[in-house]
Chains A and B, each alone.
Chain A
């Protein structure tokens, strides 16, 4: 094979060539089915804990049962005396907390200190899973509990990092002198990412001291560094494999305790060790989304134009953790208002580590901002869509940066039309028996992010292409879209492109996080293909501008050759390297949309059922209409969970996670998910990525919960400011509406 060519691009200026519009295979945007789909449906796609090398031993994590303190003793002898137990492992290198996304270094280590209830403090390894689990659950552990555990948010120490505060103009004065204003506080409960596949790692070491870890991780290029650092070995000595990942939603961004534990035990026992977390471990020992409290102060002039926007938030995390739910992500750029205050406070608590959960910041943040906007619309006497449209800024209100593509107004208008928004009535006016019906709207916005990414593309002798990168497909459709990009660029039908992912031996992709995978790793594949195309031109002796590739043939002028002929016995390989650059400072880039929801609220019981939802989105180039749509639907169903059901409960006395299984932690089920319509508005963003796409994976959550909250208000006049809106909370509101005579009992009909 000839030497691999490298094609680099740093995004310091817009790429207006729009390469994917110049090719002619016709794959881009099409609803191509996932190449990995049949294997997943048939059960032959193997997830981390499913491929066990000969002789694998089974490890089960031991959990701490105090909120804070020291492990005085881990009674190894009591465990090893139990049948089938091979050993107990713990120590300085054990992870106390999982790594935050992109940490590139080991997180807090040392299992003898306990910082939260449920923290892994050791690993029992046995010949069978059952042996290990029994010992892990029953072995003797003694503690020296600290007397200063902090589990109560109200009394916890608080921090206000300067970098996370903003004070512009004079919000107090603006509020005082405004024609209209709202000053309301919203709260949201903690959430769990609860991916379908619990975290699992299979570790094995070879004679050269190279560790192979089959894991369930989202960002292998970072996970490899984190794992090596945690173990104190060179990064090159670690290989991570994660070809299939059963969902991560942020909880698999950084290396987690089970990977390090499995690696340590496998080394000591000189045999492969698998550690698969139980569902309970995932809830208490990975990461959670912080609870939030958000004071919203919004004020307008007489025309409903925002003059002030305040968003003061309170979140929590373990002492020392750098992450704090960035609630004001969209607040910075979504609406106008020259007087602005963004406050951010972090309470330090001994509770399960808080980290990125799908749409960190926006998911709970936009619940508050978009419900507060609905409240503001009412006091302004404006339709909520009109209020939003009046407040779309000309330039970023804090630093004057121009916007990239932004079809927010168009999404709202298109959505209103499709959803039948004009039929919306006043609160309490639409009734079907016990059910009160209402509609709600919210904007969607999600900051567009990209990350460094590399991918190698090889045109092989048989006229097929191979794409290799350590990028992951966490269920989003990465296999599909990278197939399409390579096929499009090289003139190959989808079945002649092979995409291999999830192996750190391949060039490092962006990983799956921050909705940046498609735009970043997709760009790397596009760049690699461009370089391959140039080699094809050289071999054919034609100008790149004259080359057309389609259906396995390369054509230029009068020349037409099959790819087999072009390649001969010398495959063409190239690596694409994509780097974000200064365009992120030159333009405010985000994906946008509008959410519409219709809900029915049961006046007797306070139960809320979502009847239908619509999301209209603009997210740059849509690479695959099917997978994009499915990301948006999934995100909007998350919004149902945020708005109505998901509530990770910490015990008030010791902070432990009370509802640690899927029976009592309520994700929306099929019957909670109504028909959901998705529409995309056409748009190409040249400033973000050379393939003109923008992030879509988290967009569906941003604002969808608020549309539901607003619909509840429109249905029954109850304004929920404490999410999720479970029946108890909605009922309390209904009862006070009834008592105030604002809601008739509905019995007179």
Chain B
């Protein structure tokens, strides 16, 4: 591990003030420390943000929830309001990692966790994300966990988070504090970047900027599901996942907010898919049409080709489950 300076920030201003290109915030450390030990990430300075006052889950004026960046994954999953109104989020969180990790992992850290691409993790391998311009060794290699949507010739990595997929379906916004102390919010969909030719740029966070919260909009009447397909029953990242917030009114689909994990560089959402569903009576044929649109530009890399049919089937099964009563 490369030597680094350590600073414990007492205020958000102190944290952002201490930031810089070679500085990293450390929250739960469950991702950052692993990467530092392997020297995939080699910051000169760590700014510990764990003492900051960002641990609250508060109701917002418009009936939503503001989740502090340091709320742990365990606490967020267990919050009665989350379990009642945002069940998809609670389920997504509980499907991730393990109890020990979730106790450490934070909301902000989870959003910013890096890809699990094995070539990214091995400093002997070319990787455009780790070392821009060095190449992408996952292309033509073992890419079973890689992207089928939105990938580029520079990078085919996926974002591994379950939590972020659920948040994307819920229409969450990220609250960011800039170095000038002002806070802005940004839709999670705009926050994440696709790899294009700069896979090292993963999100809209500027240098030294701090995530202070995630804001969930007011809950909607819906049935929710998070369906995660994985190689073992627990403690495995999603091969594909579907977060769904669905409502059926008078036999017609009134809402179908869908986000997909394990398939792209960021939690994936495609409004065109939702538009096909809304206003229609649920049926297998309809779900297939939605899947056709979702997968229109899907491209396998060899070892991950299976994700294309898998995502279709998982989407259909999820929609079937959530519209089942209405269809009967």
Chain A positions within 8 Å of B, measured between CB atoms, are 63, 65, 83, 130, 133-134, 137-138, 280, 434, 604-607, 609, 644-645, 649, 651-653, 656, 658-661, 663-664, 666, 668-672, 726-728, 731-732, 735, 747
Cα of A27 to Cα of B187 in the assembled complex, Å = 68
A668 touches B1 (CB 8 A): no
B234 touches A133 (CB 8 A): no
Nearest Cβ in chain A — how far from B320, in angstroms?
7
Which residues of B sit under 8 angstroms from A63, Cβ to Cβ?
124
Describe B's contact surface by its main secondary structure: loop
Describe A's contact surface by its main secondary structure: loop
Cα of A604 to Cα of B38 in the assembled complex, Å = 37
Which residues of A sit under 8 angstroms from B284, Cβ to Cβ?
747
In the complex formed, the residue of B with least CB distance to A280 is B38
Contact of A604 among B2, B121, B140, B314 (CB under 8 A): B314
Nearest Cβ in chain B — how far from A458, in angstroms?
45
Binds A, one of B71-79, B81-89, B197-205, B224-232: B224-232
B232 touches A732 (CB 8 A): no
Nearest Cβ in chain A — how far from B153, in angstroms?
18
In the complex formed, the residue of B with least CB distance to A673 is B233
Question: Residue among A83, A609, A727, A735 with the most chain B CB within 10 A?
Answer: A727
Which residues of A sit under 8 angstroms from B237, Cβ to Cβ?
663
In the complex formed, the residue of B with least CB distance to A667 is B232
Instruction: Judge whether B206 is part of the interface by a CB distance below 8 angstroms.
Output: no
B1 touches A735 (CB 8 A): no
B122 touches A669 (CB 8 A): no
B118 touches A607 (CB 8 A): no
Binds A, one of B178-186, B249-257, B305-313: B305-313
Cα of A652 to Cα of B303 in the assembled complex, Å = 12
Cα of A607 to Cα of B232 in the assembled complex, Å = 8
Kindly identify, within residues 220 to 274 of chain B, every residue whose CB is under 8 Å from any CB belonging to chain A: 229-237, 239
Cα of A664 to Cα of B137 in the assembled complex, Å = 17
Cα of A569 to Cα of B204 in the assembled complex, Å = 81
Nearest Cβ in chain A — how far from B146, in angstroms?
12
Nearest Cβ in chain A — how far from B166, in angstroms?
19
Instruction: Judge whether B193 is part of the interface by a CB distance below 8 angstroms.
Output: no
Cα of A83 to Cα of B2 in the assembled complex, Å = 10
Contact of A607 among B122, B123, B230 (CB under 8 A): B230
B310 touches A605 (CB 8 A): yes
10 extra interchain contacts, Cβ-Cβ under 8 A, other than A645-B231, A735-B309? A130-B3, A604-B314, A605-B317, A606-B310, A644-B232, A658-B118, A660-B122, A663-B237, A726-B231, A727-B230
B39 touches A65 (CB 8 A): no
Which residues of A sit under 8 angstroms from B306, Cβ to Cβ?
727-728, 731-732
A134 touches B232 (CB 8 A): no
A727 touches B310 (CB 8 A): yes
A672 touches B234 (CB 8 A): yes
A664 touches B141 (CB 8 A): no
Range of interface residues on B (Cβ < 8 Å): 35 or more
Instruction: Judge whether B144 is part of the interface by a CB distance below 8 angstroms.
Output: yes
Which residues of B sit under 8 angstroms from A668, Cβ to Cβ?
232
Which residues of A sit under 8 angstroms from B145, Cβ to Cβ?
664
A731 touches B309 (CB 8 A): yes
Which residues of A sit under 8 angstroms from B299, Cβ to Cβ?
none
In the complex formed, the residue of A with least CB distance to B302 is A652
Instruction: Judge whether B116 is part of the interface by a CB distance below 8 angstroms.
Output: yes
Nearest Cβ in chain B — how far from A231, in angstroms?
29
A666 touches B320 (CB 8 A): no
Which residues of A sit under 8 angstroms from B38, Cβ to Cβ?
137, 280
In the complex formed, the residue of A with least CB distance to B144 is A728
B309 touches A669 (CB 8 A): no
Nearest Cβ in chain B — how far from A451, in angstroms?
35
Q: Which 4 pairs of residues, A with B, have the shortest CB-CB distance? A: A728-B306, A671-B233, A671-B234, A65-B124
Cα of A651 to Cα of B121 in the assembled complex, Å = 14
Which residues of B sit under 8 angstroms from A731, Cβ to Cβ?
306, 309-310, 313
B3 touches A747 (CB 8 A): no
A133 touches B1 (CB 8 A): yes
Kindly identify, within residues 284 to 317 of chain B, every residue whose CB is under 8 Å from any CB belonging to chain A: 284, 306, 309-310, 313-314, 316-317
Kindly identify, within residues 169 to 214 of chain B, every residue whose CB is under 8 Å from any CB belonging to chain A: none
Question: Residue among B232, B233, B313 with the most chain A CB within 10 A?
Answer: B232
Which residues of B sit under 8 angstroms from A727, Cβ to Cβ?
229-231, 239, 306, 310
Nearest Cβ in chain A — how far from B35, in angstroms?
12
A605 touches B233 (CB 8 A): no
Nearest Cβ in chain B — how far from A462, in angstroms?
45
Which residues of A sit under 8 angstroms from B316, Cβ to Cβ?
604
B236 touches A666 (CB 8 A): yes
Contact of B118 among A134, A605, A659 (CB under 8 A): A659
Nearest Cβ in chain B — how far from A16, in angstroms?
48
A137 touches B123 (CB 8 A): yes
Cα of A644 to Cα of B2 in the assembled complex, Å = 38
23 contacts between A and B (CB under 8 A): A134-B39, A137-B38, A137-B39, A280-B38, A434-B317, A605-B229, A651-B141, A652-B140, A653-B140, A656-B124, A658-B141, A658-B142, A660-B121, A660-B122, A663-B116, A664-B118, A666-B231, A666-B232, A669-B232, A670-B234, A727-B230, A727-B239, A735-B309
